[in-house]
Amino acid sequence: MEKLGKAYRLRRAASSIAAANTHHVAFEKSVAAILSARGRQIFSGMKPGTVRFLRLHLRELARDIERLCPAVDKVNTASNSEYPWESGGQLFVPVEYEFTEITRRFKGTNGVRMMKVIDAIFADA
């Protein structure tokens, strides 16, 4: 997701190569851009209040996905998708860790909507 966000932002000239190489927070901004550009397609037939609610939750999900990168939020988010970490004297390894909260959210309707957003990022990239 991080690399996809960076590619999208570089393609749209919303970021420089130097910024892309030094920052790990591009996915949420890319999701926000897609929701602005393609929101009518993604949320077709929904009431405006529902759309605002969903936009907020999709951006929140994108932010939580970004936090899985160890460079983004080491203090508040010990778990990450790249490296083993220790918590409470126990060692955790990403490949064996379930990331249950993110997984649960992806299995719900917002996960389906997020996949539509990701599809739109690929289409625009």
Q: What is the dihedral of CA 80, 81, 83, 88, to 10 degrees?
A: 40
Residues of the chain with pLDDT under 50: none
In the prediction, which pLDDT does 77 show?
67
Q: pTM for the full model? A: 0.73
**Residue 75, token pair as written in the block:** 């203090």
**Euclidean distance between CA atoms 116 and 102, whole angstroms:** 17
